[in-house]
Amino acid sequence: MINFYYETVVGHLNEPKLMGWLNAVASSEDTSIGEISYIFCDDEYLLEINKKFLNHHTYTDIISFDDTIGNLLNGDIFISHERVVDNAKNYDVSVEEELRRVMVHGLLHLCGFKDKTDKEASLMRQKEDEKLRMFHVEHPKL
């Protein structure tokens, strides 16, 4: 089950289509979704989580808390919509595309992918691109 929670205004998300895509992403990594919560918030909300739980005093676009058991993905994924909007401008992509990238980034973390080293970050980016292509093939109207 995938839950969506909104601590800030994000605009309309087609939750059923996003859930179908995210489930397909999980399957493509030989995993399945147990319970994942996406929490959309603003910069200050996520900054407080970053300080409290990770002792980081910087803004970020996403924080994932992984409760995965074996191949059953479970966790909470916090996303700053403000960072997503800024990133979309910086990378010259739509806000919707950047939001999907960040959402799948969090899911990939739950699948076990890391991004701390250059090599890990490169693989993460390749996986993000691969999964975003899945979205466009399987859900062309989004």
What are 16-36's pLDDT values in tens digits? 999 999 999 999 999 999 999
**According to the model, what pLDDT value does residue 138 have?**
58
Q: Does 109 show up as a binding residue in the annotation?
A: yes
CATH no. for residue 108? 3.40.390.30
Largest CA distance in the chain: 40
Q: Count of domains in the chain?
A: 1
**According to the model, what pLDDT value does residue 142 have?**
45
Q: Does 115 show up as a binding residue in the annotation?
A: yes
Structure confidence at residue 141 as a pLDDT band (50, 70, 90) = very low
Q: Does 105 show up as a binding residue in the annotation?
A: yes
Query: pLDDT for 35-93, tens place per residue?
Result: 999 999 999 999 999 999 999 999 999 999 999 999 999 999 999 999 999 999 999 99
pTM: 0.92
Query: 77 is in which domain, residue-wise?
Result: 2-138
Angstrom distances, CA of residue 31 to CA of 10, 12, 68, 74, 125: 28, 28, 10, 11, 19
